[in-house]
Amino acid sequence: MSKKGLSILIVAIIVVIIGIIIIDFIGNNALNRGGNPYEYNVDEYKEVDPSLIHYKETKNIALGDIIPRGMDIFKGDIYITGENFLKVIGIHGVQKLNISLEESGICVLARDEFIIAGLEQEVLIFDHMGKLINSWKPDTETTYITSLAILNNILFVADAGNRRVLKYTTEGNYLGEFEGKSESDDQHGFIIPSPHFDMVVNEFDELWIVNPGKHAIENYNEKGELRGFWASSSMNIEGFTGCCNPAEIAVLSNGSFVTSEKGMVRIKIYSQSGELESVVAAPEKFQEEGTAPDVKVDENDVVYALDFDRKLIRVFEKKLSE
Amino acid sequence: MAENKKLDRRDFIQKGARITLGASLAGIGIAAATKASAEKYVWQIDPFKCTQCGRCATDCVKNPSAVKCVHAYDLCGYCDLCGGYFKPGANKLETGAENQLCPTAAIERRFIEEPYFEFIIDEELCIGCGKCVKGCGAFGNGSLHLQIRHDLCDNCNECAIARVCPSDAISRIPASQAYIIKGNFTETQES
């Protein structure tokens, strides 16, 4: 073989080798590979009929560099707690009060006389100037407080860690507890697979408690006796999905429920008897596999959603045409 | 005046052989000492980085993959409606194949007491696709997660899965801490 022919052969071999390396590199590039043959796909359940969406997002308030955990709306102010703080923010986002907490606040409840913060294992009561009035700890180490509600001067404290609701006076005197079990065995009791255990008192002085493991919302009297419940399990928009939903609830002035779900994050409105009425925000509005926003309602039935992933308070108002 | 001593060929070869042998022995000794003192490393998946892309099932040199689903029972909610067991929109919450998410039916659902169920991974059947991990993470507590089983892994110099992992979730870790288990399941076992 001539010298020229040998050179051409060597160059051709080098070109082929480089070509193989490039093809192999491109083939193994994460962006250029085919789809996942084992993909877990719930896209079809994320689609929401636009005619069901009766709300639009009208405003949001950025929370900055804090880690929020819970929220309440009371008389035009936003009460928000989280990693070592409890803040009161005006409706336009101006901070009115900032209380430092030694531990993380999980939930907050504001009333005329006081602000109550639920830490993981402690209840703190402040006046509206931020002065600590009272505090106490439930008796067990496995307590995980997730929600607070007041009915007839009884403070109800949801303890997800022990699947029970504790009852106290606002001075911290223990009045009893209940686990949601009924004599007729209609419901098993509270099933709390994850730390989402919310409750709310509506305008008609009814205490409603979420039983997330049963996809149910249950009505109790102040003694802790089950009065009624409804449940709805489905991947479709009509029901609740996953292990434990709804994660958060609020109530409108007519007694309808605002529900917030984890997993496939969505906010919906249900009638008091459990029929889906409308959708506030479809899954596309939230981060995929995000955290269920805390939801609260003001006196005008405006829905506030605390978006933990985007660190925003998002305001949803009913569309004028609805 | 010093007399220059000339090496003959035989001396030269003998001296050269001795030096080569000595150097080789010294090298082997140093290498052995280094190996004895250095910690062994193994490949492992960081479950907090894993995005369940499916490549653990398709790209491992072992067939079926050395990656298996493991279950952190202390994180599990023992749910009736388990997002890692039932496929989305399952007709019924029962063990019929048409309701199961796992493509190889590698998860056993065992009744404990109303309304709690235990979910057990059959590693013989598991192919490490991560489909159940995705479902559990999305709709449950994230107690299911993927790990490379070192009794199955060849510990290749270059892990074929690590090479294509889109989230860089696979890296070498000390063999003394060969698993990255979610929850405190392992601590509980040890105690």
Lowest mean pLDDT among A71-85, A152-166, B67-81: B67-81
Residue A43 within a domain: no
Query: B-chain residues within 8 Å CB-CB of A215?
Result: 81
Query: Tens digit of pLDDT for each residue in B82-139?
Result: 999 999 888 888 888 899 999 999 999 999 988 889 999 999 999 999 999 999 998 8
Please tell me the distance from the alpha carbon of residue B162 to that of residue B146, in angstroms, as a whole number.
13
Contact, A208 vs A249, CB < 8 A? yes
Averaged over A89-96, what is the pLDDT?
Answer: 91
Q: For the whole model, what pTM was predicted? A: 0.81
* A262 Cα to chain B: minimum distance (Å): 7
Q: Terminus-to-terminus CA distance in chain A, angstroms?
A: 86
Residue A32 has pLDDT above 70, yes or no: no
Q: Tell me if chain B has a CB within 8 Å of the CB of A188.
A: yes
Find the domain containing A168 and state its range.
Answer: 51-318
Residue A36 within a domain: no
Query: Tens digit of pLDDT for each residue in A209-253?
Result: 999 999 999 999 999 999 999 999 888 999 998 889 999 999 999
More confident residue, A135 or A26: A135
Query: Tens digit of pLDDT for each residue in B77-86?
Result: 898 889 999 9
Query: A-chain residues within 8 Å CB-CB of B54?
Result: 36-39
User: What is the CATH classification number for the domain harbouring A57?
Assistant: 2.120.10.30
Query: B-chain residues within 8 Å CB-CB of A195?
Result: none
Strand order in the sheet with A55-62: A55-62, A312-318, A303-307, A294-297
Q: Are residues B140 and A243, on separate chains, in Cβ contact within 8 Å?
A: yes
Residue A306 has pLDDT above 60, yes or no: yes
- At A114, is the pLDDT very low, low, confident or very high (cuts 50, 70, 90)? very high
Counting one residue from chain A and one from chain B, the pairs whose CB atoms sit within 8 A come to: 82
Tell me how many domains chain A contains: 1
Query: Please, which residues bridge with residue A209 across strands?
Result: A199, A218
Residue A41 within a domain: no
CA B96 distance to own-chain centroid: 31
Q: Are residues B115 and A213, on separate chains, in Cβ contact within 8 Å?
A: yes
Residue A86 within a domain: yes
Residue A56 within a domain: yes
* A90 Cα to chain B: minimum distance (Å): 34
* A281 Cα to chain B: minimum distance (Å): 19
pLDDT at B71: 94
Q: Tell me if chain B has a CB within 8 Å of the CB of A105.
A: no
- At B12, is the pLDDT very low, low, confident or very high (cuts 50, 70, 90)? confident
Closest CA to A67 of A24, A106, A95, A125: A106
Q: Tell me if chain B has a CB within 8 Å of the CB of A133.
A: no
Q: Are residues A213 and B135, on separate chains, in Cβ contact within 8 Å?
A: no
Please tell me the distance from the alpha carbon of residue B186 to that of residue B191, in angstroms, as a whole number.
9
Q: Tell me if chain B has a CB within 8 Å of the CB of A68.
A: no
